[in-house]
């Protein structure tokens, strides 16, 4: 039975985490006391839905959540700290705190520990999300108790809708640049000034000249893309903001 325990305190657990070459310990109090925290929990690091959608979207909306009073976003999984550290490096996760619930103590205390032995996983977390204020669970979004791994209500957009239904969601922004380009620096500064988070693709590293031409039809940088639309260079970006 997957119980909703809104109004109760989060479990009191000490988490061993690997930082650099040594183990450290983080307690539930350190994570939650005096803070407003989003927690989303999932079956396992590196698993498909967790990697492609669940974690990246919370990471993408992190700044918006912070604008709405959220101090931290925690991704919890019944994996050891080495696996969680490796997953963090592999993912878009710089705005999310990944916590290894290796022994499943926190997940068990939440009543969310389930048997995934049929997949060779052993005991893992059911997928859910919650909003916690000063250690007290205000709201839980628990995936329906259906076969497989349902992903319907624990997503970042559902959480944001609960916290602020009037919040405008940011458009995804990507910019192709090259080192030492003053026009690139101008475009990035303008995006930051407008409060837009962006993904930077550096020519010769994350993007090739072929990709630049194929995507933009141009050979110059920067090239800015917002919400699926090609905006263009730094001057085009200035015009875009003047008209929007």
Helices of type H across 70-170: 81-90, 105-109, 156-163
Query: What is the Cα 111 distance to its own chain's centre?
Result: 24
Query: Does the annotation count 181 as an active-site position?
Result: no
Helices of type H across the chain: 28-32, 48-49, 55-60, 62-67, 81-90, 105-109, 156-163, 182-193, 209-216, 234-243
- SS3 at position 198: coil
Helices of type H across 68-150: 81-90, 105-109
Q: Which of 50, 75, 181, 184 is catalytic?
A: 50
Tokens representing 224? 């800015």
Separation of alpha carbons 103 and 16, rounded Å: 10
Q: What is the DSSP letter of 33?
A: T
Separation of alpha carbons 95 and 71, rounded Å: 11
CB-based contact 222:233 (threshold 8 Å): yes
Q: Which residues are catalytic?
A: 50
């Amino acid at each position: 039975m997957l119980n909703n325990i809104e109004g109760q305190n989060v479990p009191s657990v000490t988490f061993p985490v690997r930082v650099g070459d040594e183990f450290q310990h983080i307690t539930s109090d350190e994570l939650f006391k005096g803070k407003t925290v989003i927690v989303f929990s999932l079956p396992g690091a590196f698993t498909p839905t967790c990697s492609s959608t669940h974690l990246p979207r919370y990471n993408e909306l992190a700044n918006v959540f912070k604008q709405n009073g959220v101090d931290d976003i925690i991704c919890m999984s019944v994996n050891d700290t080495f696996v969680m550290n490796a997953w963090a490096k592999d993912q878009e996760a710089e705005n999310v705190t990944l916590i290894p619930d290796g022994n499943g103590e926190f997940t068990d205390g939440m009543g969310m520990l389930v048997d995934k032995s049929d997949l060779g996983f052993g005991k893992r977390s059911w997928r859910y999300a919650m909003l916690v204020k000063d250690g007290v669970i205000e709201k839980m979004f628990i995936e329906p108790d259906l076969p497989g791994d349902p992903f319907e209500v624990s997503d970042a957009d559902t959480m944001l809708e609960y916290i602020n239904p009037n919040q405008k969601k940011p458009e995804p922004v990507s910019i192709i640049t090259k080192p030492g380009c003053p026009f690139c620096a101008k475009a990035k500064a303008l995006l930051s000034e407008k409060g837009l988070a962006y993904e930077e693709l550096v020519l010769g590293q994350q993007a090739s000249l072929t990709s630049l031409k194929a995507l933009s039809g141009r050979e110059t940088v920067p090239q800015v893309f917002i919400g699926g639309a090609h905006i263009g260079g730094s001057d085009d970006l200035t015009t875009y903001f003047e008209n929007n």
